Amino acid sequence: MAEPHPLPALATPKEVAAYLRKSPKTLANWRSQGIGPKPRKVGHSVLYRRRDVDAWLDRT
């Protein structure tokens, strides 16, 4: 049986930062610079799709 992925399908910046072992501030800086995993705006929230985070990791 496969282990569950440590990130939900849609993750908050705090969850993604913990997964990447970076601070939420680093993730926010990357977001403002247009680097890092691609964020999604859902209403007033910034979320990350798990597949976008994994794809970004594969490219780095």
Q: What is the mean pLDDT of each run of 10 residues along the chain (60 residues)?
A: 74 95 96 95 95 94
End-to-end alpha carbon distance in the chain: 28
Residue 1 domain-assigned? no
Q: Tell me if 27 is assigned to some domain.
A: yes
Q: What is the pTM of this model?
A: 0.85
pLDDT at position 33: 97
List Cβ neighbours of 45 (8 Å cut-off, separation of 6 or more).
Answer: 12
CB atoms within 10 A of CB 6: 10
User: For residue 20, is it within any domain?
Assistant: yes
Domain total of the chain: 1
Tell me whether residue 15 is in a domain.
Answer: yes
Compute φ and ψ for 51, nearest 5 degrees: -65, -30
Whether residue 4 lies inside any domain: the answer is: no
Asked if residue 30 is part of any domain, the answer here is yes
As a dihedral over the C-alpha atoms of residue 8, residue 12, residue 13, residue 16, rounded to 10 degrees, the angle is: -10
The reported pLDDT for the residue numbered 55 is 96
Q: Tell me which residue range forms the domain holding 51.
A: 10-59
User: Is 37 within a domain?
Assistant: yes
